[in-house]
A and B are shown apart, each in its own frame.
Chain A
């Protein structure tokens, strides 16, 4: 699929990222782990796209490849019409201002030797935001107030803050350079549930105020269902299902999505009983099974699943990569790109979060 959408903010086509496997005394390259194995994604301005999957599925590598923190080994990334993968490092740096990331462990993401003021102002200095050091300090104070931190604390060091407060610092630091797209990589996963709610509310408010676009990388389906407009489900380096959040949760099509959703415990005391639908364990990404990567764990697999790479079946709101979806879907849908969400009548989502 190389059809580019005019409405897209970010467009990813055929993204591949591999890591070499080295072995022996000479550390020769003996193979590779295809962490990301041909991912297509489109992110529209103002939406929250969730990338969900279990550990080792490659979701974090996708986020880092978009920022070229890890250089992709293949594929293209267009941002605002510019192919980021073709840019020389110096030219790409200008785009780092527009694409920012908030990571899982705010303790590790902050330099322990920088005060909060310097951590937040570092990006501004790099991109020449703020006329003077005083102006930047003023902006740090404004940002700290916005994320509900006391600006009086800006001369303190990260270790003097709790986990939730450190995540607020990381969010303020990302916002300091006025990004367009914010990649949140498990940004609430390390936090206690009451603090997670605070951070999710903050991210929701900031999105509406600043018209931000989010790529929300997480393993937590509850967070996805609450926060995302669309969701992409990843398994062993590939996107296996993509669609509007309401549709995916109400009517998942891929057997892996079904297994994931069945494993989500309910809080309703009258409804208990998660169903372990997926058999066995996730295989090593270094040796993905042939054919459909999910077939050894799939409760509804057929013989062909172990031989054929599953085709991409286009759905009105996204795609599914499963032979059985292809059999169930009308033939007319099995081609062409997904329409932009504007055409899908997503009225209840959008700016309301």
Chain B
């Protein structure tokens, strides 16, 4: 197996708290292979979006990446990269799209001009060639009448078209990694289906790896190859899409998937996870899910679980699974 495209090693992100600093992302390790789509799944506040921002070194202040975290992209540790080189990677080798296309686009500049800017920033092209490249990009992401739409302002485009413009901008430099943070959450169902189709197609034809941040297992099933589930700043389970959706082993992952209303649940009660997600700084000393876990036993309350491999590709951070596997 060749070296992964992106590898996070013990990523710790901290924010100031009442006393000292609190880790909001705690020793997260992840790998993404070339061309692969990895979904990072979790509920609000679990740290999935901060992880994505940290990869781009866009963590909002006063957040900090704590040593000895490593973010290796193509063999280089992004954390140690000088600012100009990091700037070349942002929007170059790594593209990013966000949940709200409205707030990511400049409202007073025509959208084509904004994509043009992204192209010229990384590639010194003559104006006319760059213009043609933008038209080509708008066409590639399925924007009808790209020559006319070049001059449209963001408010003249629907949410779906704006997200397509964002994707065109992110794909402008043929990135090796596309980070997509809840790319379809703000979109309507019929438009979401179109954008998922587009992402799937782009990743297949360009070989771009995708880190998909989402809370929606339906979206995960549509485009992910592998899945990692986060809870309270840590990864609790990782595996292939089939493993995670078919045989989730961590009680949190199981609970999350079962709490989605599905046809079989009709007329009955939905499985619910009791209680609420603890806030950073209020995390229990042992397994962070222990206070809400229906299977928790004494060891869960005192000791942080380690990774247990249940298959060559599936790993679970749970004491109970560890006992089951080693028994």
- A residues at B contact (CB < 8 Å): 54-55, 162, 164-165, 192-198, 200-201, 204, 219, 221-223, 225-227, 249, 259-260, 262-270, 272-278, 280-282, 297, 348-349, 352-353
* Pairwise interchain contact B218-A267, C-beta atoms closer than 8 A: yes
Within 8 Å by CB of A197, from B160, B215, B271, lies B271
* Pairwise interchain contact A269-B242, C-beta atoms closer than 8 A: yes
* Pairwise interchain contact B265-A282, C-beta atoms closer than 8 A: no
* Pairwise interchain contact B193-A263, C-beta atoms closer than 8 A: yes
Residue of A nearest to B41 (CB): A193
* Alpha-carbon separation in the docked complex, A266 to B217 (Å): 9
Task: Tell me if B165 counts as interface (CB < 8 A to partner A).
Answer: no
Provide the residues of chain B in CB contact with A227, threshold 8 Å. 261
* Pairwise interchain contact A265-B219, C-beta atoms closer than 8 A: yes
* Alpha-carbon separation in the docked complex, A204 to B268 (Å): 9
Task: Tell me if B203 counts as interface (CB < 8 A to partner A).
Answer: no
Provide the residues of chain A in CB contact with B245, threshold 8 Å. 267-269
* Pairwise interchain contact A267-B260, C-beta atoms closer than 8 A: yes
Provide the residues of chain B in CB contact with A297, threshold 8 Å. 190
Provide the residues of chain B in CB contact with A268, threshold 8 Å. 221, 245
* Pairwise interchain contact B270-A267, C-beta atoms closer than 8 A: no
CB distance from A318 to the nearest CB of B (A): 18
Can you name 5 A-B residue pairings with CB atoms under 8 Å?
Answer: A193-B217, A201-B270, A267-B221, A273-B222, A276-B190
Within 8 Å by CB of B262, from A204, A226, A263, A282, lies A226
CB distance from B233 to the nearest CB of A (A): 16
Given A200-B270, A249-B263, 11 further pairs, Cβ under 8 A: A197-B272, A198-B273, A201-B269, A222-B218, A266-B221, A267-B217, A267-B218, A268-B245, A275-B193, A277-B193, A352-B267
- B residues at A contact (CB < 8 Å): 43-44, 144, 158, 160-161, 188-194, 196-197, 215-219, 221-222, 241-242, 244-246, 255-257, 259-263, 265-267, 269-273, 276-277
* Pairwise interchain contact B190-A278, C-beta atoms closer than 8 A: yes
Within 8 Å by CB of B256, from A164, A194, A265, lies A194
* Alpha-carbon separation in the docked complex, A111 to B218 (Å): 35
Provide the residues of chain B in CB contact with A262, threshold 8 Å. 193
Provide the residues of chain A in CB contact with B272, threshold 8 Å. 194, 197-198, 201
* Pairwise interchain contact B193-A274, C-beta atoms closer than 8 A: yes
CB distance from B203 to the nearest CB of A (A): 14
Given known contacts A281-B161, A282-B158, A193 and B260 CB-to-CB distance under 8 angstroms: yes
* Pairwise interchain contact B221-A272, C-beta atoms closer than 8 A: yes
- Which of A266, A270, A275: most chain B CB closer than 10 A? A266
Given known contacts A193-B215, A194-B273, A268-B245, A54 and B221 CB-to-CB distance under 8 angstroms: no
Provide the residues of chain A in CB contact with B158, threshold 8 Å. 281-282
* Alpha-carbon separation in the docked complex, A73 to B160 (Å): 31
Provide the residues of chain A in CB contact with B261, threshold 8 Å. 197, 200, 222-223, 225-227
* Alpha-carbon separation in the docked complex, A281 to B272 (Å): 35
Provide the residues of chain A in CB contact with B189, threshold 8 Å. 54, 219, 221, 260, 263-264
* Alpha-carbon separation in the docked complex, A224 to B222 (Å): 21
CB distance from B260 to the nearest CB of A (A): 6
CB distance from A129 to the nearest CB of B (A): 30
* Alpha-carbon separation in the docked complex, A348 to B267 (Å): 8
* Pairwise interchain contact A192-B193, C-beta atoms closer than 8 A: no
Given known contacts A194-B273, A195-B276, A282-B158, A266 and B266 CB-to-CB distance under 8 angstroms: no
* Alpha-carbon separation in the docked complex, A192 to B190 (Å): 22
Within 8 Å by CB of A267, from B144, B194, B257, lies B257
Provide the residues of chain B in CB contact with A204, threshold 8 Å. 269
* Pairwise interchain contact A282-B218, C-beta atoms closer than 8 A: no
Provide the residues of chain B in CB contact with A282, threshold 8 Å. 158, 188, 190-191
10 smallest CB-CB distances across A and B, nearest first, come from A265-B218, A226-B261, A197-B259, A263-B193, A54-B188, A194-B273, A192-B43, A276-B193, A269-B245, A278-B190
* Pairwise interchain contact B43-A194, C-beta atoms closer than 8 A: yes
Provide the residues of chain B in CB contact with A162, threshold 8 Å. 276
* Alpha-carbon separation in the docked complex, A195 to B270 (Å): 11
